A and B are shown apart, each in its own frame.
Chain A
Amino acid sequence: MTNMIMRVEGARKAFGGLVAVNDVSFDLARGEILGLIGPNGSGKTTTMNLISGGLGMDRGRIELDGEVISGLPANRVARKGVARTFQLLRLIEDMTVTENVVVGMAFRPGQSWNAEMVAKSHDYLKIVGLEDKAGLDAAKLTYIDQKRLELARALAMEPKVLLLDEWLAGLNSTELLAGIEIIREISRLGTTIIMVEHVMSAIHSLCDRCVVMNAGAKIAEGTPGAVLTDPLVVEAYLGEPHHA
Chain B
Amino acid sequence: MISRSPTPYVGILAVAGTLALLPLYASSYQLAFAIGLLNFAVLATAWGLFSGPTRYVSLASVVFFGIGSYTVAIVGEVMPWPAVLLVAALIGGAVALVVGLATLRLAGIYFVIFTFGLSEMVRQLVTWYEVNVTLSIGRYIFLDITQTQIFWQLLALLAIVMLGAVALQRSRLGFALRVIGGDETMARHFGLNPTFAKLALFVASSMIMALAGAIMAPRWTYIDPAIAFNITLSFQVVIMALLGGMHRIYGPMLGAILMTFLFEALSNHFPQAFSLMLGLVFIVIVYLLPNGIVGRLEEGLARTRRKPATASAKVGERT
Contacts and interface: CB of A to CB of B under 8 A. Distances in A.
Interface string B207-225: 0000000000000000000
Contacts, number: 88
A92 B193 contact: no
A134 B183 CA distance: 21
B186 A98 contact: no
A74 interface: yes
A221 B188 CA distance: 31
Interface in B4-60: none
B109 interface: no
B185 A54 contact: yes
Contact of A75 (B178, B193, B311, B316): B193
A161 interface: no
B191 A90 contact: no
Interface stretch (B145-153, B169-177, B231-239): B169-177
B179 A157 contact: no
Contacts of A53: 188-189
A201 interface: no
B314 A103 contact: no
Interface in A78-126: 78-79, 83-84, 86, 90, 92-96, 98-99, 102-104, 106-109, 113-115, 117-118
Contacts of A98: 315-316
Given A95-B178, A106-B175, A113-B171, A135 B312 contact: yes
Given A102-B175, A118-B315, A136-B311, A95 B182 contact: yes
A96 B315 CA distance: 7
B112 interface: no
Given A113-B2, A117-B2, A118-B2, A103 B190 contact: yes
Contacts of A78: 188-191
Nearest to A97: B315
A92 B315 contact: no
Interface in A29-54: 52-54
Contacts of B192: 75, 107
Contacts of A109: 191
Contacts of B315: 96, 98-99, 118, 134-135
A108 B191 contact: yes
A210 to B, nearest CB: 24
14 contacts: A54-B185, A75-B188, A83-B189, A90-B186, A92-B182, A96-B315, A102-B175, A108-B191, A113-B2, A115-B2, A135-B313, A137-B311, A140-B311, A157-B190
A107 B315 CA distance: 19
A73 interface: yes
B302 interface: no
B98 interface: no
A109 B190 CA distance: 11
